Amino acid sequence: MKGPRSQVALAALLFVAVSLVALTRAAAPSPPLGIPADWVGPWKQGDLLFGTDEPQQTYRQAVVGNGYMATVVGSPDIYVSGVFNGEESLSKRARLPATNAITVTNALHTGSALNIREGVFYRRSYFKPCIACAEADIEQRWYAHRFYPSLLVRTTVSPTNESITLTLANNNGTATTDLDLSPYGAPPGLAVIAGPTRLLETPKQQPTFVAVATNNVPDSITVNATGSSTTFYFITAIRTNHDSEYPIDAALTDLQNAQFMQGSLRKHHIEEWEKIWEAGIEVGARFELGQAVNSSIYYLLSSIRAGDYETNSSRFGSAFRVKSYSVSPGSLATTGYSGHSFWDGETWMYPTMALFYPEVARNLLQYRSDRIPEASANAALNGFKVGLKFPWESGYTGSEVCPWPPGLFEHHLMGDIALAVQQYWRLTRDKQWLKEEGINLAVGIAAFWISHVEWNSTTQKYSINHVLGPDEYATGPDNKGINDNAYTNTIARISIEFAAEAMQILGLKVDPVWLNISSNIYVPFNATGNFHPEYVGYEYGQVVKQADTILMGYPALDQLPEQVRRNDLEYYEEVTDINGPAMSWGMFAIGWLEVGEYQLAAKYFNQSYQLNLNLPFNAWQETVNGGCPHFITGAGGFLQGLWAGFGGVRILNDRVVFKPVLPEHTTYLKYRQFHYLGSQIDIAFDDKQITFGLTSQGAQALAVTSSKGDKQILGAKSPVILPTASAPFYLSAYPQ
């Protein structure tokens, strides 16, 4: 029998200082053949992905990015957040020619690695200048600097006792057709190109001006026989008029400052990633799952960062305004889906960010807030009297840039954004944010739904017509949508209810008509089958592209009877396209765990990632057959399966619920720096007990309550330890 001493021992094991733990504690199998000895340790910890051969296809290659810029390693392309080219529906992320896709052409490749913890890609090779000569080992490194976001760094390191000459080639591809780039004057050894984007999303938009400063890449470099390592730095600095008043001067200054401190660049970069990894998800004893978790978080954070702040000259050569941009399904490193923002940000990627990286999550909401004027104009343009209609596809301006006509009817996006606003409020209770930003989104979206509903004399309820739900196979007559999509109508109701709640919190008057409408929105239901048809007129057996109706249970958190929830899952698992997008399967896993079907949940959880990760660097793809490359939407859905599914996490109005169960073949799960009401909590559980440990205390005290009703205050030196069997657990403010 385990007594109190055993509990304390487990707590000590699970809450050892973050600086001493790896990203995952999964037990590693035997190291892969060919891995260098000094990479084995990070690989065993789940921090490093290794391949003896680098993939030639860019959809399988690793990405380096920092949320401001990103590139697929070795590709001829660099992309910068917020830089688009093209008119209206032809808008796409603008391509910059790569300046750092450098290869050593006369060396033999021996292996490559993506070090997830460091945010650095490594390529190793060797050069043998003559038969009698010793081999010279060469290591190339790529990283988009996390601390200095304007910098993209590539280095070559070679220790040798022989003088050798290495030949270089840069894969910068063809000239870009997205910007009018011209050379500008630069000091010897440096080059600057700069210019505006060629085509604008809207006539009112000003061109985006981009400046790129870089080292000149020579045809060869000579390494002298010093007996110690020699490092060559190839640094690129990129600035735009979104973040700098004088982009050319700023890029050149950043480059020169980086050259001056080049010996410490990697150190500062790694230190910044170490801070990021203080939060996250830890897996015990299942190695491949741990690697998938770590790489998924890495790829998400390579494409987005906290926004809307200004750094000063102590950090950069000149002020750097980090603006708020959203995230695209194909990451920041590709033009997948043209680099546009969809519901993917708020529904699939945002929730994990909100729990572990709230400043990054707030950036996604700020992107929408900044574009409220465009959303208001878009609503009026589409015949809605009031409210906010955000575009299904959004680029830089926030105007509609969707090239696919049915996409214009995907109005569920408004509800998806409202759910994200509600989640942020519930996690933070930040009344100042609600007053300044959240209320405008919440009320504007609610007003859109009020303008959208139509009284249906047959059902004696309000209908929402001419919409397209997440199931994009159901485009309706003439591609103008269907009526009363169950998920869309559900989140429309929730949007209005939350707006009313937010108004009451801020002392604003709520129109009773709104509440009457919200309580009378029609949701189709088949009483005979005791399940929800996807929409009015849905034909039994019709194939569905992706998770749609089942999203009513999660993430919408509609209070469905358990048998109805089960029936919805049973029906839609049979008709959902097996070749659909990856994120659907995580939603089935979450749903089956809700109703206690562990084996089915395990099946769909595995399906949510195992067939969509491209080895050796775990690059995501949209479907089992391919689709959008570097599909980080899939990463978002998969990660939710780990905390909303196996953690049973539900973020409610006055508490967070936990109903933990371990994934198969794991020994524990741990959520590091789970953010709630200004505090950070480490939450770890195995099959016997769960531990809540406070790592940072906010202004609001917290308490944990078990299903038996016993409540314990969470203190800095007093973790709460409870038997897992006494789930569910409730984390809440104290006093409540």
Q: Quick one: tokens of 249?
A: 């001067």
Q: What Å distances lie between residue 679 and 264, 333, 358, 731, CA to CA?
A: 33, 33, 11, 11
Residue 314 has pLDDT above 60, yes or no: no
Question: In this structure, are strands 190-196 and 309-311 parallel, antiparallel, or unpaired?
Answer: unpaired
Rounded to 10 degrees, what is the CA torsion of 184, 323, 409, 625? 70
Residue 185 structural domain: 49-278
Q: Which positions are catalytic?
A: 472
140 CB contacts (<8 Å, ≥6 apart)?
102, 104, 122, 123, 124, 125, 154, 155, 156, 157
208 and 342 in one domain?
no
d(CA 518, CA 496): 6
Cα gap 547→534, rounded to integer Å: 10
State the virtual CA torsion across 705, 354, 634, 408 in degrees, nearest 10: 120
Mean pLDDT value of segment 487-498: 98
- Do residue 628 and residue 682 come from a single domain? no
Task: Please count the helices (runs of H) and the strands (runs of E) in the chain.
Answer: 17, 35
Question: Do both 270 and 307 map to the same domain?
Answer: no
Say what the alpha-carbon torsion angle 161, 165, 171, 175 is, to the nearest 10 degrees: 140
- My answer on whether 471 and 333 are in the same domain is yes
Torsion sign over Cα 431, 433, 438, 439? positive
Spatial neighbors of 343 by CB under 8 A, at least 6 apart, are 410, 412, 413, 416, 470
Rounded to whole angstroms, the Cα distance separating 426 from 428 reads: 6
Say what the pLDDT of residue 311 is: 59
Could you count the other beta carbons within 10 Å of the beta carbon of residue 690?
Answer: 25
Residue that is last in its domain, among 278, 313, 340: 278
Q: What is the pLDDT of residue 315?
A: 56
| Residue that is last in its domain, among 645, 679, 707 | 645
Q: Is the pTM of this model over 0.85?
A: yes
Q: What gap in Å lies between CA 695 and CA 300, rounded to an integer?
A: 24
Measure the CA angle with vertex 385, ends 380 and 387; round to 5°: 75
Asked if residue 197 belongs to a domain, the reply is yes
Q: Look up the CATH number of the domain holding residue 621.
A: 1.50.10.10
Collect all residues with Cβ–Cβ distance below 8 Å to 478 and sequence separation of at least 6.
Answer: none
Tell me: do 557 and 410 sit in the same domain: yes
- Does 406 lie in the same domain as 260? no
What burial class does residue 156 get, using C-beta atoms within 10 Å of its C-beta: 0-12 exposed, 13-18 middle, 19+ buried? buried
Q: How confident is the model at residue 430 (pLDDT cuts 50, 70, 90)?
A: very high
Place of tokens 């954004």: 417
Q: Check whether 188 has a pLDDT greater than 80.
A: yes
Domain count, the chain: 3
Residue 12 has pLDDT above 90, yes or no: no
State the CATH number of the domain containing residue 58: 2.70.98.40
Instruction: State whether residue 318 is helix, strand or coil.
Output: coil
Among the residue ranges 184-193, 234-243, 303-312, 725-734, the one predicted with the least confidence is 303-312
How far apart, in Å, are the Cα atoms of 188 and each of 170, 340, 701? 19, 39, 59
**For the packed helices 439-452 and 486-505, what is the interaxial angle rounded to 10 degrees?**
130
Beta bridge partners of 715: 718
The answer to whether residue 17 sits within a structural domain is no
pLDDT score, position 160: 67
Residues 1-26: b if buried by 16+ CB within 10 A, e if exposed:
eeeeeebeebbeebbeebeebbbbbb
pLDDT per position as a tens digit, 20-60 = 334 555 567 899 999 999 999 999 999 999 999 999 999 99
Supply the pLDDT for residue 324. 85
CA–CA separation, 669 and 673 (whole Å): 13
Q: In the structure encoding, which two tokens stand for residue 304, read together?
A: 């987005």
Q: Which residue has the tokens 């078990």?
A: 706
Q: Is residue 14 situated within a structural domain?
A: no
In angstroms, what CA-CA distances link 362 with 298, 303, 429?
18, 15, 13
The dihedral built from the CA positions of residue 181, 184, 190 and 194, taken in this order, carries a sign that is negative
pLDDT digits (tens, 9 = 90+) for 362-387: 999 999 999 999 999 999 999 999 99
Whether residue 293 is contained in a domain is answered as: no
How many Cβ atoms are within 10 Å of 596's Cβ, its own excluded? Answer: 11
Structural contact between residues 687 and 709, judged by C-beta atoms closer than 8 angstroms: no
Report pLDDT digits (tens) over 617-670. Answer: 999 999 999 999 999 999 999 999 999 999 999 999 999 999 999 999 999 999
Measured distance CA(152)–CA(302) in Å, rounded: 13
In this model, does residue 434 exceed pLDDT 50?
Answer: yes
Angle between helices 598-607 and 583-594 (to 10 degrees): 170
Among 132-146, 312-326, 552-566, 680-694, which stretch is predicted with the lowest mean pLDDT? 312-326
In a domain, 654, yes or no: no
Do 467 and 356 belong to one domain?
A: yes
Spatial separation of the C-alpha atoms in residues 580 and 548, rounded to whole Å? 12
Lowest mean pLDDT among 142-151, 202-211, 305-314: 305-314
Q: Of 133-147, 151-165, 233-247, 605-619, give the lowest mean pLDDT range.
A: 151-165
Is a pLDDT exceeding 50 seen at residue 403?
A: yes
* Residues 341 and 197 both lie in one domain: no
- Residue 711 DSSP label: E
**Residue 10 pLDDT grade (very low, low, confident, very high; cuts 50, 70, 90):** very low
Give yes or no: residues 214 and 335 share one domain.
no
Residue 702 one-letter amino acid: L
Backbone angles phi, psi at 180, to 5 degrees: -90, 85
- 164 falls within a domain: yes
Predicted pLDDT at 1: 31
The answer for residues whose C-beta is within 8 angstroms of residue 103's C-beta and 6 or more apart is 74, 168, 169, 170, 171
288 lies in a domain? no
Q: What is the pLDDT at residue 312?
A: 46
User: How does residue 135 score in pLDDT terms, banded at 50, 70 and 90?
Assistant: confident
Task: Give me the phi and psi of 362, to 5 degrees please.
Answer: -60, -30
Q: Which residues partner with 379 through β-bridges? A: none
Q: Among 113, 104, 126, which Cα is nearest to 64's?
A: 113
User: Which residue from 50, 51, 619, 53 is spatially nearest to 336, judged by alpha carbons?
Assistant: 619
> Percentage of residues in the chain with pLDDT exceeding 70?
95
Spatial separation of the C-alpha atoms in residues 204 and 238, rounded to whole Å: 25
Q: Indicate the residue among 593, 614, 645 that finishes a domain.
A: 645
For residues 564 and 641, state if they share a domain. Answer: yes
Cα 89 to its chain centre, rounded Å, is 24
Q: Would you state the pLDDT for residue 317?
A: 57
Same domain, 440 and 578: yes
Is it the case that residue 15 has pLDDT exceeding 70? no
Whole-number pLDDT of residue 308: 61
Q: Tell me: do 392 and 475 sit in the same domain.
A: yes
| Residue range 589-601, pLDDT digits in tens | 999 999 999 999 9
328 lies in some domain: yes
- Each residue's pLDDT tens digit, 516-558: 999 999 999 999 999 999 999 999 999 999 999 999 999 999 9
